Amino acid sequence: MFEKLSAVESRYEQIGMELTRPETVSDNVLFTKLMKEHSELTPLVEKYREYSNALNQEKEALELLNNGGLDKDFRELVEEELREAKEKIVVCADELKILLLPKDPNDDKNIIVEIRGGAGGEEAALFAASLFRMYSMYAESKRWNIDVTNVNETELGGYKEISFMVEGVGAYSKFKYESGVHRVQRVPDTETQGRIHTSTVTVAVMPEADDVEIDINPADLKIDTFRSSGAGGQHINKTSSAIRVTHIPTGTVVECQDERSQFKNKDKALKVLRARLYDAAKREHDDAIASDRRSQVGTGDRSERIRTYNFPQGRLTDHRIGLTLYKLDAVMNGDIEEIIDALTTYYRAEALKAQEEN
């Protein structure tokens, strides 16, 4: 591991020198490429240097203690420095192992999120709207852009389904563990007896696919146009600007009616289609190469219940990692960073465990 880290540090220093050369600065493509690589290597190199400094401190402390001739107070001081250095070495070594894990190539990508009401009828649709609001507020806190591609509203303002894009560096890395079944327990506004209802909503998070990753043959597409419409006759267009795209080989159907322009709706629909096909191919590939235990690491299986939102108790529980928080109001207002960090840490630890077993 440490031979690899030494090579990484050398490459980091080489890039730093390259970035100061006039010919590099004048080449926008090369300069951007090197800056990105330099930025990606920085956390690893900084941690490696921290680890190396701790090793040097340990070595110096041991040499002082082995040479003898120290008075009591100075010896105690050196022994304390030795303990701190040893602790630092262990902590840095563990953090370096995590930093050396293969990076998910999709982590920096934009994403497409699809939220659908499940069991629970209107209450499920209302909670789907609540989840969309939660994710939107979180994305806004990260200064990311939200772009709705399709929405199917209900009479009471809920969503039978809603699809939207989140555009921002690192969006997939933050959202990828949100895929799955979200369960809500609360008293609906329409409930006169004050009874708690349980409903479910499904969330699917997909990285936006590049054109080169998913090549779609135009001959495989059936494209239909229709008039946009909303709940209760709202947002009805007089022109057929809404688009329905069917991918004939897989039977995948995507609709987009958010834009007034037929061209813009078609462009968005193709982005969603490309993401769905990429996601399906990725999941098939992961299932084919992963063991039963490791297939659950980082997949965010959307067929399983992952989280419960209990409103009467103000409690959120993530069932995958046993995390319980009593700050549901804050969570529903977009404060989900603590949950995301806990999930990221857990799945990194699982990936590290699987790597060590191999």
Distance CA 169, CA 98 (A): 21
SS3 258: coil
Distance CA 72, CA 78 (A): 10
Check whether 211 has a pLDDT greater than 70: no
Check whether 262 has a pLDDT greater than 80: no
Burial group, residue 87, by CB count within 10 angstroms (0-12, 13-18, 19+): exposed
Task: Write the CA distances from 346 to 108, 109, 353, integer angstroms.
Answer: 20, 22, 11
Quick one: which of 326, 318, 325 has its CA closest to 346? 318
**pLDDT given for residue 286 in this prediction:** 65
Q: Find the angle CA(234)-CA(237)-CA(240) to the nearest 5 degrees.
A: 140
CATH number of 111-352: 3.30.70.1660
Give the number of other Cβ atoms within 10 Å of residue 75's Cβ: 14
The 10s digit of each residue's pLDDT in 139-149 is 999 999 998 88
**pLDDT given for residue 27 in this prediction:** 92
pLDDT band at residue 293 using 50, 70 and 90 as cut-offs? very low
**pLDDT given for residue 294 in this prediction:** 39
Q: State the DSSP string of 2-20.
A: HHHHHHHHHHHHHHHHHTT
Residue 115 backbone dihedrals phi, psi, to 5 degrees? -115, 130
pLDDT band at residue 239 using 50, 70 and 90 as cut-offs? low
The residues that bridge with 307 in the sheet, in sequence order, are 182, 318
Mean pLDDT value across residues 324-350: 92
**pLDDT given for residue 340 in this prediction:** 94
Check whether 186 has a pLDDT greater than 70: yes
Residue pair 177/347 in contact (Cβ under 8 Å)? The answer is: yes
Kindly list the domain boundaries of the chain, sorted by start residue.
2-99, 111-352
DSSP 198: E
Structure-token pair, residue 251: 């039977």
Q: Locate the DSSP E strands across 7-126.
A: 111-117
Structure-token pair, residue 54: 């701790």
Q: Locate the DSSP E strands across 187-297.
A: 197-207, 221-226, 242-247, 252-256
Mean pLDDT value across residues 274-298: 61
Give the number of other Cβ atoms within 10 Å of residue 208's Cβ: 20
The 10s digit of each residue's pLDDT in 24-79 is 999 998 999 999 889 889 999 999 999 999 999 999 999 988 887 788 888 889 89
pLDDT band at residue 289 using 50, 70 and 90 as cut-offs? very low
SS3 235: coil
pLDDT band at residue 187 using 50, 70 and 90 as cut-offs? confident
The 10s digit of each residue's pLDDT in 108-136 is 889 999 999 988 888 999 999 999 999 99
Distance CA 14, CA 174 (A): 31
pLDDT band at residue 190 using 50, 70 and 90 as cut-offs? low
Least confident span in 164-178, 203-217, 254-268, 286-300: 286-300
Helix extents (H) in 211-336: 262-289, 328-332
Distance CA 187, CA 311 (A): 8
**pLDDT given for residue 240 in this prediction:** 61
The residues that bridge with 219 in the sheet, in sequence order, are none
Among 59-63, 152-156, 234-238, name the most confident range: 59-63
Tell me the one-letter amino acid at 73.
D
The 10s digit of each residue's pLDDT in 323-335 is 999 999 999 999 9
Among 152-161, 171-180, 209-218, 230-239, name the most confident range: 171-180
What is the topology classification, in CATH, of domain 2-99?
Answer: Methane Monooxygenase Hydroxylase; Chain G, domain 1 (1.20.58)
Torsion of CA 338, 184, 151, 144, to 10 degrees: -10
Average confidence score pLDDT of the chain: 84
The residue with greater pLDDT, 115 or 194, is: 115
Structure-token pair, residue 23: 């010919």
Query: In what helix (H) or strand (E) does residue 342 lie, and over which residues does it extend?
Result: helix 337-357
Please state whether the predicted TM-score (pTM) of the whole model is above 0.75. Answer: no
pLDDT band at residue 104 using 50, 70 and 90 as cut-offs? confident
